[in-house]
Structure 1
């Protein structure tokens, strides 16, 4: 039987390094691995379906799935996770001191449907009582002008969105006080170049995020991995083979992080970081698989619906190929 020749696009994470190098293989597949920035992968996959397998924004994937004709199917692997309390930036001119002060303000977001702002808005609602429709969202490029939503959105009227000017950037507008806050995945350049004008809402974000995890048990999922649906339907075995390979690659990354004979990562206190993560989150602090992430996925789908991005009724199991809902690996 001939092997499939497939192309996979994904960022150059430690947890996929063994797949990229060929140390771990996908059973039955000759893989062409393209290490690309996430924005490029998302744009090319969502607009043109260029790759057979790709890392994908969880929110963009759910938007496509909710429309009933998604060209993708996911496996329960999550190469990007991120606590996002650190990603709420405020203008010094805004007078914002607490989460409650965000109500009624002008909030910059590169894209309304981005996964990071979905989590931020949901956490603000659940933890601090700031409803998603209590703010006005200004969308556009963070560092370069001209960014647009990758997917066309049809939101309820209560959500107020406006595009920034064709030559404007959110990073500069924040520092200039033209917007009051920014919900984003990337630290704006003006946080470093104009520190007296831009600051974090939660300066001690690590403590806030660890407290959130202890109470909520949620390590927010940012991205999943999808297969083009036509490739999956012609090769149903691929979902489990891909899931297995990504699990094995992640195990190799865990082993490297726990290696103390010689540090593989340029962090001088790496063992302390690992020990701290384990003390708060357990040894598998970055879990893959369906059962271990059901609660996180249920919360995200609730946020997604509450923010006008998808209808009610989507279940976590609706997101994934049924062949990958369980794993035979121990």
Structure 2
């Protein structure tokens, strides 16, 4: 048994790993349940963990030092993550052209997807927008990773005492792309609204048209650890898959609601009608379309030096398996 520290958010699909109900083969696992932003910062800046949940975009920019397994603990549609100032006059995606948009970090996965979707499906070229980067609610947030020279967009950090949420309220930026819901919107401040009035419908239509359920995060191993223990990638992959399958199999139970949502059963049924029974798969082949879409966006936006193939991202031990 080797001791491994895993830093990951607390999700239903990973909870069996956290509680010890699922144990990776050959591993004495310590699960640190931490917010994603903290995990990303500590892993990228200090390599504090053996294994960690990590932004897909950040990983693609750091494949020399890390190796991923095709486990995706966070996936989210992102049309709902575009906010506009009510006084900005922005009523459609086309109105974003020429505007100033706040974004916590240019390279973050949510932003890559939003820019790609707006460019590909709404005719809003990436370089048609001016970007301001910084903390959403706390000042002083820098890019975790230096941006490569291939990035050509107009990007300026906000001031050391400024926050994007406050700037949106004050009209200093016209819109905001944010994975986290800004507090003014959550509090019902009418000066902030979503770009899409019915984002759920837009997201469902997007999935029907593309088959893409955006992946936000993967799971990475420090490369030197993977090279020392080549069996570890497969062991972790199997354990994550077992934990995911366990959570998904009980999600739609109706005898006693698993979560505090009165119509959870209807939500599960609706999701499966639109997206299929296995709508949150792990593995490379089952996610080929979404991974190719992201990698194309990353390359087009100058974050990747070359167009990568999905299989290049993941430990070779996880790409296929034995058969009896």
Q: TM-score range by the shorter chain?
A: over 0.9
1-structure distance, mates of 2:60, 2:197: 32
Equivalent residue number for residue 125 of structure 2: 131
Calculate the TM-score normalised by the size of structure 1: 0.96
Equivalent position of 2:53 in the other structure: 55
> C-alpha distance in 2, partners of 1:213/1:327?
29
1:16 corresponds to which residue?
14
1:119·1:303 contact (CA, 8 Å) conserved in 2? Answer: yes
> 1:249-299: per-residue Cα shift (whole Å, max 9, x none)?
001111221222111111111110110010000111111111010111111
Paired with 2:56 and 2:322, the residues of 1 have a C-alpha distance of 25
Aligned partners of 2:82 and 2:176 also within 8 Å: yes
Match of 1:164 in 2: 158
Counterpart pick for 1:177 among 153, 171, 182: 171
Give ranges in structure 1 of 5+ residues lacking alignment: none
2:262 is the alignment partner of 1:262 = no
**Secondary structure of the corresponding residue to residue 34 of structure 1:** strand
C-alpha offsets along residues 205-250 of structure 1, whole Å, 9 cap, x if unaligned? Answer: 0000000000000000000000111110011111111110000000
* Distance (whole Å) between structure 2 residues aligned to residue 157 and residue 116 of structure 1: 17
Q: Which residue of 2 aligns with 1:38?
A: 36
Structure 2 residues not aligned, in runs of 5+: none
1:325 equivalent to 2:319? Answer yes
SS in 1 for 2:144: coil
- CA shift digits 1:83-141 (9 cap, x unpaired): 00000000112110110110111010000001001000000011011111111100000
Contact 1:289 1:327 in 2 (8 A): no
Tell me what 1:64 maps to.
Answer: 62
Distance in 2 between residues matched to 1:146 and 1:27, nearest whole Å: 42
Answer yes or no: is the 8 Å Cα contact 2:22–2:242 preserved in 1: yes
- 2:215 is aligned to 221
Tell me the TM-score normalized by structure 2.
0.98
Per the TM alignment, residue 53 of structure 1 is displaced from its structure 2 partner at its CA by 0.6
Describe the superposition over 1:175-226 as per-residue Cα deviations: whole angstroms up to 9, x where unpaired.
1111000011011111134622100000100000000000000000000000
Change (3 A) 1:155 1:100: farther
Matches of 2:249 and 2:42, distance apart in 1: 33
* Contact preservation (8 Å) 2:96, 2:124: yes
Aligned residues: 324
Asked whether the equivalents of residues 244 and 327 of structure 1 are also in contact (C-alpha less than 8 Å), the reply is no
Does the CA-based 8 Å contact 2:152-2:302 persist in structure 1? no
Contact kept, 8 Å, 1:289 with 1:326, in 2: the verdict is: no
Displaced runs of 4 or more, over 6 A: none
Query: Any conservation in 1 of the 2:83–2:194 contact (CA below 8 Å)?
Result: yes
Match of 1:148 in 2: 142
